[in-house]
Structure 1
Amino acid sequence: MDNRQYVGIDIGGTKIEAVLVDGEGNVLNTGRIPARPGAQNVLEDVIAIARRMGGEPAAVGVGLPGQVDSVNGVVRDIVNLDIVELELGREAGEALGVPVQVENDVNAAALGAVALIDDEIGADDTVVFLNFGTGLAAGVVRDGRVERGHSGAYGEVGHIPVDPNKYLCNCGQRGCLETVTSGGSVAKLWPEGDPPLPDLIAKAKAGDEHALEVFGIVQHGLADTVQVVAQAYDPRLIVLGGGMAKTGRPLVDMIVEELERREATSHFLKSLHLPDRLRLAPVEQPIGAIGAALAAPRV
């Protein structure tokens, strides 16, 4: 039994969330501060909020976007935070006097989501966490560990160019899944409502022609995304997270409707039972920070 404590920190473009957890992952304290751009500001804020959590943590885990070198604790090219390069693991570790592990934010959220729904997951199961946020990416947890791959692009399903609408993506390609399924893309396709997806669903159900057109585009892309990760990773569960997951059950229903439409003409797809594998992430909880705490070194 692990009797130590750990701090987990989730850094976003506008806020930084932190938790203090015990060795079993139970949350003992939480905190939140605004995010400030700039490498020095981010470093100072990580140190400050880690200390604010109190307790006597044995290690700290930090989840954040951009290019994350988890082995060396270096983060690069975080555009929203104006960071070119930061040796966050080493510098924060020296200041705090404990090991600091840096992790990709989606991977951290995947660990957090798995921990919060682990009553459904076996020891050898694979779980895919789909982060429908500003962009689209997947975190893959296998046997309780995050999969990282060779180059750091593992789980970058948002940049698979399969959408027939061929919208230009920020990565330079056309037709990426992210151009029709991320929170940012839905806001561009349907710049109404706050947030836009619930408004889009309501207007489509009411028979609005333009809403029905956009709804169809988004729905098709969401189902494509689920199929891609299901057939690439064959996970026990596919967890839907990110800002769009706050839509709740209507998001799941939207995906299931399209999957069942496809199943009607494909016995192969029907045999995969994809609707049964879908779960909503517990977005009311700080899953990114919890996952970051779980990623903290157990030394």
Structure 2
Amino acid sequence: MASHTTSHNPDELTAGHCGLRIGIDIGGTKIEAVLVAPDGTIVATDRIPARRGNDQVVEDVVSIARSVAGEHFESVLSVGIGIPGQVDCATGRIAHVVNLDIDTLELGALAGKQLGLPVHVENDVNAAAVGAAHVLAGTDMSGTIVFLNFGTGLAAGIVDNGTLLHGYSGAIGEIGHVPVDPNQFECPCGQRGCLETVCSGASVGRLWPKANPPMPGLITAAHLGDMEAQRVLAMVTHAIVDTVQMVAQAYDPKLIIFGGGMAKTGQPLIDVTLEELARREAHCPFLKGLHLADRLRLAPAAEPLGALGAAWAAASI
């Protein structure tokens, strides 16, 4: 059993421990959990290393859920889980979670049976989208909010009037596999020119292997006059703004949130995006009239968005 690192806020727990929710974010290397009060306040957190295999993942979910709730477990109403891979949110069944050696697993049913609680499972990007929407929009969840996850791949989570959208087959938001990039790099999905072959965290690392993390190093080198860095950065920012335009013109969201590992670059990522956006707006009154710059936000790096969003998603079911 993995060791736990748990943090509680005693004042919040004492103030109101009825109707608590647990949110769990499962990654390739760690599992993070939060205990959330009815008003959305995080009252406890926990983190353990992730282990591979079906039995280990279920065991760790049950363990961290009980640990983060502590003596208030009996007051918990539901558990939400965010995890990579294919997720059937209606049944809690997950598939093809490569980093955890999972082919298929009835995660929701198995964890729910052991915990004695309703367990709702979401794709990790969707969970993070819900978390980011609640953190940045607060109580005003009206309109559409799009979360762009610039991680190992590229995907979007869409929250409409507080409701997470899944689409007909669950493939909504798979914008990374829209094959429009002119560089026409091969994508593991079988296509060429997918957006994520240029503007995901993994692709930037491939295009600019001279720095780790690559995006801050790429931006710095470009600003210092490195011509190759400037060429690569122009390629990356072109794909980023293609992505922004697609979700903006498809969903007309009030907020477009940059998340994922690449978003940890911080404001410089927004700045280079705005520069490319301004170049396009200079020749397109229609695009300029959308005021996209006013809608861009960075996901708060210090918040456990995946776990928080998983808790909120479970609460809405």
Give the structure-2-normalised TM-score. 0.92
Report the alpha carbon displacement of residue 123 of structure 1 after superposing the two structures with TM: 4.0
Matched with 2:281 is 263
Matched with 1:47 is 62
Q: 2:111 aligns with which of 82, 92, 107?
A: 92
- Equivalent pair of 1:197/1:247 in contact (CA under 8 Å): yes
Q: Does 1:127 align with 2:142?
A: no
Report the alpha carbon displacement of residue 209 of structure 1 after superposing the two structures with TM: 1.4
Q: 2:124 aligns with which of 89, 94, 105?
A: 105
Query: Can you list the C-alpha shifts for 1:194-222, whole angstroms capped at 9, x where unaligned?
Result: 21100000000011111111111101111
Runs of 4+ off more than 2 Å: 121-124
Matched with 2:218 is 200
CA distance in 1, matches of 2:203, 2:262: 11
CA distance in 1, matches of 2:203, 2:127: 23
The AA in structure 1 aligned to 2:192 is R
The AA in structure 1 aligned to 2:31 is I
Report the alpha carbon displacement of residue 192 of structure 1 after superposing the two structures with TM: 1.9
Q: Does 1:184 align with 2:199?
A: no
The AA in structure 2 aligned to 1:40 is D
Q: Structure 1 pair 115/2, CA: closer, same or farther in 2 (3 Å)?
A: farther
Report the alpha carbon displacement of residue 3 of structure 1 after superposing the two structures with TM: 3.6
CA distance in 1, matches of 2:49, 2:313: 23
Q: Structure 1 pair 253/298, CA: closer, same or farther in 2 (3 Å)?
A: closer
Report the alpha carbon displacement of residue 37 of structure 1 after superposing the two structures with TM: 1.4
Matched with 1:281 is 299
Q: Structure 1 pair 160/249, CA: closer, same or farther in 2 (3 Å)?
A: same
Matches within 5 A, 1:1-299: 3-53=18-68, 54=70, 55-56=72-73, 57-119=76-138, 122-297=140-315
SS, match of residue 8 in structure 1? strand
- Equivalent pair of 1:10/1:288 in contact (CA under 8 Å): yes
CA distance in 1, matches of 2:182, 2:44: 46
Q: What is the aligned-residue RMSD (CA, Å)?
A: 1.4
Aligned residues: 298
SS, match of residue 24 in structure 1? coil
Query: Can you list the C-alpha shifts for 1:45-80, whole angstroms capped at 9, x where unaligned?
Result: 111111111222111000011110000110011111
CA distance in 2, matches of 1:255, 1:167: 21
The AA in structure 2 aligned to 1:66 is G
The AA in structure 1 aligned to 2:310 is A
CA distance in 1, matches of 2:137, 2:231: 38
CA distance in 2, matches of 1:169, 1:6: 39
SS, match of residue 31 in structure 1? strand
The AA in structure 2 aligned to 1:48 is S
CA distance in 2, matches of 1:147, 1:274: 22
Give the structure-1-normalised TM-score. 0.97
Query: Can you list the C-alpha shifts for 1:83-138, whole angstroms capped at 9, x where unaligned?
Result: 1100011100000011100011111101100111124x744310000000111000
- Equivalent pair of 1:105/1:288 in contact (CA under 8 Å): yes
The higher relative CO (CA closer than 8 Å, separation ≥ 6) is in 1
SS, match of residue 114 in structure 2? helix
SS, match of residue 86 in structure 1? strand
CA distance in 2, matches of 1:287, 1:123: 16
The AA in structure 2 aligned to 1:30 is T
Q: Which runs of 5+ in 1 are unaligned?
A: none
SS, match of residue 296 in structure 1? helix
The AA in structure 2 aligned to 1:154 is I
The AA in structure 1 aligned to 2:19 is R
- Equivalent pair of 1:2/1:24 in contact (CA under 8 Å): no
